[in-house]
């Protein structure tokens, strides 16, 4: 059992898992009340894997928290910082969830009106897509909207570069829809691009790997860890039709200190109130739309339509305009605005900060 004697002894371990001076300043005092800070590192049904200043423990959310929660956003998620009360016997009780710096939310698969917090307090999302399958720019745009909305920085990794002759064309087409988001071609087999990936790793920085099943997320974690930390799909399943080898979300700490969140592939990524992420992802089109002569321009036959002009001039591709229209409805006109809370203000504050930091994702900066 762990003792509730403050974080002093375990400061180093907490910091290694991302506990920051800012968190210490804001919540350190609470620790005197018999509560301990901990990070949620995994989730298995009702129980959470937690990292405390003195090692890993199991925790549960008390009935009171479950009862009061109006949605999953009021419940612990992987990546959260929480305050726990150690119990004499059995799992620790999660007393409070500290405000999230970033929050990756999606509409729960198969549900209209329920959300799922995929990950919290993520610094960078590696959006991974395989070069050997048909590259779906539309899917990448969707992931970009959700990532930018989360407040985390996006980095796009095009995997399995060893299986294509020349990834340059694909990288170029992705860059065109990614608007300033870094795009790298990498291979877990040849090692191409992995030095660039390593530049993003930093002690205490949390990076989530996202993308369909089979793109090589778990293999990348293993490569970066330098050992077989995770099980990956059999080679014969590499056509993607195989089962999901990764069955739960978990944050792993690499020997050099970076924190990587591996997760099963998401078959569906529906938006949950993703207005800001949408605006950032389609900033090019958002600007053009404001130049239409009529404020309520339908972008069809109206005179002075800046969108039609941009399409004719080839400044915007028909496919991108299509995406804009399709995703706009989902991201903007079906918002679930129950979330007017402080958590939202906090997220927005961090989105702004990250925007300013976006140019400095490298080591030592």
Ligand X SMILES: Nc1nc2c(ncn2[C@@H]2O[C@H](COP(=O)(O)OP(=O)(O)O)[C@@H](O)[C@H]2O)c(=O)[nH]1
Among 145, 307, 316, 327, binds Zn ion (CB under 5 A): 307
Residue recorded with tokens 């909305």: 149
Q: 167 or 214, CB closer to ligand X?
A: 214
Q: Is the CB of residue 147 less than 8 Å from the CB of residue 104?
A: yes
Out of 73, 184, 217, 249, the residue judged to bind ligand X by CB under 6 A: 217
The yes or no reply on residue 292 touching Zn ion (CB under 5 A) is yes
Choose the stretch contacting ligand X; rule: CB under 6 A; options: 78-86, 119-127, 230-238, 330-338: 230-238
- Separation of alpha carbons 189 and 186, rounded Å: 9
Buried b / exposed e along 177-186 (16+ C-beta atoms within 10 A): bbeebbbbbb
The one among 41, 93, 153, 187 contacting ligand X by CB under 6 A: 187
Task: Using CB under 6 A, count the residues that bind ligand X.
Answer: 21
Nearer to Zn ion, 178 or 292 (CB): 292
In the complex, what is the shortest distance from the CB of residue 252 to ligand X, in angstroms, rounded to a whole number? 13
Q: Shortest distance, CB of residue 365 to Mg ion, whole angstroms? A: 30
Which range of residues in 47-55, 113-121, 228-236, 345-353 is near ligand X by CB under 6 A? 228-236
Check binding of 361 to ligand X (CB under 6 A): no
CA quadruple 137, 142, 143, 148: dihedral, nearest 10:
120
CB neighbour list of residue 254: distance below 8 Å, 6 or more residues apart: 201, 224, 225, 260
Which of 338, 351, 332 has the alpha carbon at shortest distance from 115? 338
The residues pairing with 44 across neighbouring beta strands, listed in sequence order, are: 47
Q: Least Å distance between CB 217 and Mg ion?
A: 5
Q: Cβ of 239: how many Cβ atoms within 10 Å?
A: 11
15 binds, among Mg ion, Zn ion, ligand X, none (CB under 5 to 8 A by kind): none
Listed in sequence order, the residues at least 6 apart from 230 whose beta carbon sits closer than 8 Å to its beta carbon are 218, 221, 222, 246, 252, 262
Per-position x/- string for 140-179, each x denoting binding to ligand X as judged by CB under 6 A, each - no binding? -------------------xx-xx----------------
In the complex, the smallest distance separating the C-beta of residue 214 from ligand X, rounded to whole angstroms, is 5
Chain-centre distance of CA 250, in angstroms?
13
* Nearest CB to Mg ion, comparing residues 217 and 308: 217
- Which residue among 147, 153, 206, 246 contacts ligand X (CB under 6 A)? 246
Q: 195-214: which residues touch ligand X (CB under 6 A)? A: 213-214
Out of 23, 186, 297, 316, which residue is the one contacting Zn ion (CB under 5 A)? 297
Residue 140 contacts residue 174 (beta carbons within 8 Å): yes
Q: Is 129 in the site for ligand X (CB under 6 A)?
A: no
DSSP letters spanning 108-155: PTT-SS-EEEEEES-SEEEEEEETTSPP-HHHHHHHHHHHHHHTSEEE
The pair of structure tokens assigned to 125 is 């999302």
Q: Is 215 in the site for ligand X (CB under 6 A)?
A: yes
Q: By Cβ distance, which residue is nearest to ligand X?
A: 216
Q: What is the 3-state secondary structure (H, E, C) of 147-196?
A: HHHHCCEEEEEEECHHHCCCCHHHHHHHHHHHCCCCEEECCCCCCCCHHH
From Mg ion, ligand X, Zn ion, none, which one binds at residue 284 (CB under 5 to 8 Å depending on kind)? none
Residue 16 near which of ligand X, Mg ion, Zn ion, none (CB within 5-8 Å, type-dependent): none
Sequence-ordered strand ranges (E) for the chain: 36-44, 47-52, 55-60, 81-85, 92-97, 103-107, 115-120, 124-130, 153-159, 183-185, 206-210, 250-253, 259-262
Indicate whether 281 belongs to the interface with ligand X (CB under 6 A).
Answer: no
Whichever of 285 and 297 has its CB closer to Zn ion, that residue is 297
* 263 contacts ligand X (rule: CB under 6 A): no
SS3 79: coil
Q: Does 42 bind ligand X (CB under 6 A)?
A: no
**List of residues contacting ligand X (CB under 6 A):** 159-160, 162-163, 187-189, 213-219, 232-233, 235, 238, 245-246, 265
**List of residues contacting Zn ion (CB under 5 A):** 292, 297, 299, 305, 307
């Amino acid at each position: 059992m762990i003792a509730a004697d403050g974080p002093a002894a375990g400061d180093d371990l907490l910091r290694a898992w991302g506990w920051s001076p800012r968190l210490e300043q804001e919540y350190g005092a609470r620790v005197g009340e018999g509560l301990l800070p901990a990070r949620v590192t995994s989730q298995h049904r009702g129980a959470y894997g937690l990292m405390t200043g003195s090692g890993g423990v199991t925790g549960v959310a008390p009935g009171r928290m479950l009862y009061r929660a109006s949605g999953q956003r009021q419940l612990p998620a992987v990546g959260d910082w929480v305050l726990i009360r150690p119990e004499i016997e059995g799992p620790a009780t999660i007393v409070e969830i500290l405000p999230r710096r970033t929050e990756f939310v999606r509409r729960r698969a198969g549900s209209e009106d329920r959300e799922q917090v995929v990950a919290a307090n993520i610094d960078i999302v590696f959006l991974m897509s395989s070069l050997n399958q048909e590259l779906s720019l539309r899917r990448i745009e969707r992931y970009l909207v959700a990532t930018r909305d989360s407040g985390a920085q996006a980095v796009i990794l095009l995997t399995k570069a060893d299986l294509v002759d020349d990834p340059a064309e694909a990288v170029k087409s992705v860059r065109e829809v990614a608007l300033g988001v870094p795009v790298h071609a990498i291979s877990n087999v040849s090692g191409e691009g992995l030095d660039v990936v390593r530049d993003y790793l930093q002690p205490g920085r949390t990076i989530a790997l996202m993308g369909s099943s089979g793109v090589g997320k778990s293999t990348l974690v293993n490569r970066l860890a330098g050992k077989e930390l995770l099980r990956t799909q059999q080679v014969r399943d590499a056509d993607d039709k195989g089962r999901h080898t990764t069955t739960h979300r978990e944050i792993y700490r690499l020997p050099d200190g970076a924190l990587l969140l591996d997760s099963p592939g998401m078959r569906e990524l529906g938006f949950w109130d993703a207005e800001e992420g949408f605006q950032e992802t389609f900033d090019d089109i958002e600007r053009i739309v404001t130049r239409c002569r009529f404020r309520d321009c339908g972008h069809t036959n109206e005179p002075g339509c800046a969108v039609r002009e941009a399409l004719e001039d080839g400044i915007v591709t028909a496919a991108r305009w299509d995406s804009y229209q399709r995703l706009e409805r989902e991201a903007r006109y079906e918002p679930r605005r129950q979330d007017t809370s402080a958590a939202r203000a906090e997220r927005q504050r961090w989105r702004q900060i990250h925007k300013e930091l976006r140019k400095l994702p490298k080591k030592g900066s």
